[in-house]
Amino acid sequence: MVPGRSDQADRVSGSGRVGATGRPYTGVFPIAPTTFDDTGDLDLESQKRVIDFMVDAGVGGICILANYSEQFALTDDERERQMTVVLDHVAGRVPVVVTTSHFSSRVAAERSRRAQEAGAAMVMLMPPYHGATQRAEEAGILEFFHTVATAIDVPILIQDAPVSGVALSVPYLVRLAAEIPHVRYFKIEVPGAAAKLRELIRLGGDTIAGPWDGEEGITLIPDLDAGATGTMPSALIPDLLRQVVDHYRAGRREHAVAHFERSLPLINYENKQCGLRAAKALLREGGIIASDLVRHPLPPLHPATHAGLLELARRLDPLILRWARA
């Protein structure tokens, strides 16, 4: 249980707020990368192995079609094919969050409706933006999420990240939760995430079912201290981050900190040197996927960067390097 905070699982209920068990989703919900073959086409067999690896890592759930899934490099047909294959393959073993972001309210609502029909437990969206200057005003953002919410019955997770360039104040996020029943989860990955999470929980109270962090979990301990109940990192070390969260939620903060500090050099290297290419590199190294290709114009990892990533990963012996050989 998070210190200083009552257990939301016993007090949050209502439309769009909780999972199928009647309790809020918590824990580690890593982002599954989209896998390609060496020609750049979807590799759906590798995709299934990624999903099986993540389930075996003991994750709380899985997120697909996020930015770390290269969603911005996929066609609409590829999105649909990947979503269908993944949700069919998961077959209810863990909840799946489907990212349905789009600038258009109509398109975002339709994507969300399709995700729910395919079996998504929740949808994640960023506020509408296009490029560096095209953004909706607060009234438009509110209407955007209203439009999505009217199309679905599953919860909505709002992604608050610098890439959108949209400033989402805590009072405004609380307003969204208060006025839109399905908006109950928030992935906070902006500078000062812990402070924002703490204020979100203070002002939002019972309307906030899931205060989560992201950004590869690089600030996981201060975010857990602030009251975060979930984290959405990459697929790099879900097994190790699960140990951090499990220890923390069991009241063993000192063990959580020790596990986190051991993993932090690798997390930092991923965050600062590799980005979304890190998980693919280790998935390929571990024999889980056939190719670590990222779609052009993203470049592959420099050989020296790749070597540094493997050096740090091998010190930790994570499941990603052992799973396919077990």
Instruction: Give the per-residue pLDDT at 136.
Output: 85
Res 247: pLDDT: 98
The pLDDT tens digits for 42-55 are: 999 999 999 999 99
Q: Does the pLDDT value for residue 15 go beyond 70?
A: no
Q: Are 34 and 63 in contact (CB under 8 A)?
A: no
**Token digits for 203?**
């002002």
pLDDT at 13 over 90: no
Q: Which domain holds residue 178?
A: 8-235
What local confidence, expressed as pLDDT, does residue 20 receive? Answer: 54
141 domain-assigned: yes
pLDDT tops 60 at residue 11? no
Which of the four pLDDT bands, split at 50, 70 and 90, describes residue 2? very low
Q: DSSP character for 152?
A: -
* Residue 19: predicted pLDDT: 58
> Do 123 and 163 meet the contact criterion of CB atoms below 8 Å apart?
no
pLDDT in tens, 293-317: 999 999 999 999 999 999 999 999 9
Residue 211 falls inside a structural domain: yes
Domain membership flag for residue 321: no
Is residue 131 one of the residues assigned to a domain? yes
Query: Is 200 within 8 Å of 188 (Cβ atoms)?
Result: yes
**Given this model, what pLDDT does residue 250 score?**
97
Nearest-CA neighbor of 29 among 2, 55, 67? 55
Distance CA 239, CA 217 (A): 13
Number of domains in the chain: 1
CA distance linking residue 5 with residue 255, whole number of Å = 20
Cα 4 to Cα 25, 115, 198, 254: the distances in Å are: 19, 36, 11, 17
3-state secondary structure (DSSP) of residue 274:
helix
Assess if residue 101 is contained within a domain. yes
Residue 100 lies in a domain: yes
The mean pLDDT value for 114-131 works out to 95
CATH number at residue 162: 3.20.20.70
Phi, psi for 188 (deg, rounded to 5)? -100, 115
Token pair of 55 as six digits: 């389930």
* Structure tokens given for 322: 């052992």
Supply the pLDDT for residue 235.
Answer: 98
End-to-end CA distance of the chain: 33
Where do we find the tokens 């209502």? Answer: 14
Instruction: With a cut of 60, say whether residue 3 has pLDDT above it.
Output: no
Q: Is 248 exposed, middle or buried (0-12, 13-18, 19+ CB in 10 A)?
A: buried
Model pLDDT, residue 132 = 75
Tell me what the mean pLDDT of segment 133-142 comes to: 88
Percent of the chain with pLDDT over 90: 87
Classify residue 286: in a domain, yes or no. no
Residue 14 has pLDDT above 60, yes or no: no
Residue at 51: amino acid letter: I
Average pLDDT over residues 122-138: 89
pLDDT at res. 18: 56
Kindly state the average pLDDT of the residues 169-186: 97
Active site residues per annotation: 187
Residue 195 lies in a domain: yes
